[in-house]
Amino acid sequence: MLSWIDGQSAEALSARDRGLAYGDGLFETIRVSAGRPRLLARHRVRLEEGVRRLSLPVNLELVEDELLRFSALLGDGVAKLMLTRGEGARGYAPQADAQVRRLLLGSPAPAYPVKNSEEGVTLFPCATRLAEQPLLAGLKHLNRLEQVLARAEWSDPAFAEGLMRDVSGRIVEGVFSNLFLVRQGELITAELSRCGVAGVMRAEILQRARDLGLPVIVRDIEYGELAQADEVFLCNSLYGIWPVRGMAKHAWPVGPLTRKLQGLLCELLDS
């Protein structure tokens, strides 16, 4: 499968890279179809924020140029873009002269069951909680052990995703998705200033909903609010929107707002 490092075809990285040593870097998981990266502007915005907060000295125009060329070759699939602080001497101190490493890894298009989108999914209630770290919240950085532990909690394919809560018990997101509730016509998603990943599809949905004049609320969500939701859905940049039909004792219908947003977004990922 297609794999580039710093713009050149390569499969292997220095074992002394700080991406491996410390997870000192960022990534984006990008849907590529018809040779083009989808939601590119939103991936760029999140990457800019990550590069700023981690102080990664990288030319993002070069990164984007490589991504476009890579996507044209990949055609259809997933491009995983990683930026790491490159090789460093032993120790945590970031090198003043860091040479940021740019990785692009291709994968086939995801093979999620069509019924996830059409009929909805069941959520596994993960016991792994998200720690609160405002300095890293929202970013798609390379420190993802919480997601690994959460995803390891279930292997039954009856659960397409898992629900993650923060250490205070609030509802935050899925393991690899963001989560929305609909209640009395309002669209609600978690505020992500203490933990969680600010997904690009989440951002797209927030924008589209606002453009439609829908009431949109980004705030903390208490666990008890799940029981009161009229609709629940998940989203990410690869599959779009999955209605959530149930979790533990809870059950929800596939509601009209979920279907409306699915309709609006269906052309974004494949066309």
Q: Which contiguous run of DSSP H or E holds residue 19?
A: helix 18-22
Instruction: Out of 2, 6, 7, 23, name the contact with a second copy by CB under 8 A.
Output: 23
β-partners of residue 82 are 27, 103
Q: How far apart are CA 217 and CA 228, in angstroms?
A: 16
5 in contact with a second copy (CB under 8 A): yes
- Residue found by looking up tokens 């220095």 in the block: 14
Q: How far apart are CA 5 and CA 201, in angstroms?
A: 26
Amino acid at 231: E
92 in contact with a second copy (CB under 8 A): yes
172: DSSP letter: E
Q: Which residue, 22 or 99, has its beta carbon nearer to a second copy?
A: 22
Q: Which residue, 236 or 258, has its beta carbon nearer to a second copy?
A: 236
Footprint on residues 171-230 left by a second copy (CB under 8 A): 175-176
86 in contact with a second copy (CB under 8 A): no
Instruction: Out of 6, 69, 73, 144, name the contact with a second copy by CB under 8 A.
Output: 144
64 in Cβ contact with 11 (< 8 Å): no
149 in contact with a second copy (CB under 8 A): yes
CB of 216 to a second copy, least distance (A): 28
58 in contact with a second copy (CB under 8 A): no
Exposure string of 60-97, with b = 16+ CB inside 10 Å and e = fewer, is eeebbebbeebbeebeebbbebbbbbbbbeeeeebeee
Instruction: Out of 45, 73, 107, 214, name the contact with a second copy by CB under 8 A.
Output: 107
Q: Which stretch binds a second copy (CB under 8 A): 60-68, 77-85, 210-218, 250-258?
A: 77-85
51 in contact with a second copy (CB under 8 A): no
The interface mask with a second copy, positions 124-143, x = CB under 8 A, is ----xx-xxx-xx----xxx
CB of 2 to a second copy, least distance (A): 11
145: DSSP letter: H
94 in contact with a second copy (CB under 8 A): yes
CB of 23 to a second copy, least distance (A): 4
Amino acid at 21: A
Amino acid at 25: G
CB of 154 to a second copy, least distance (A): 9
Among residues 165, 86, 157, 75, which one has the least CA distance to residue 122? 157
Q: Which residue, 22 or 122, has its beta carbon nearer to a second copy?
A: 22
Helix axes 200-211, 256-269, angle to 10 degrees: 120
240 in Cβ contact with 117 (< 8 Å): yes
> Which residues of this protein are in contact with a second copy, per CB under 8 A?
3, 5, 10-24, 27, 29, 54-55, 78, 80, 82, 84-85, 89-94, 96, 103, 105, 107, 110, 128-129, 131-133, 135-136, 141-152, 155, 167, 175-176
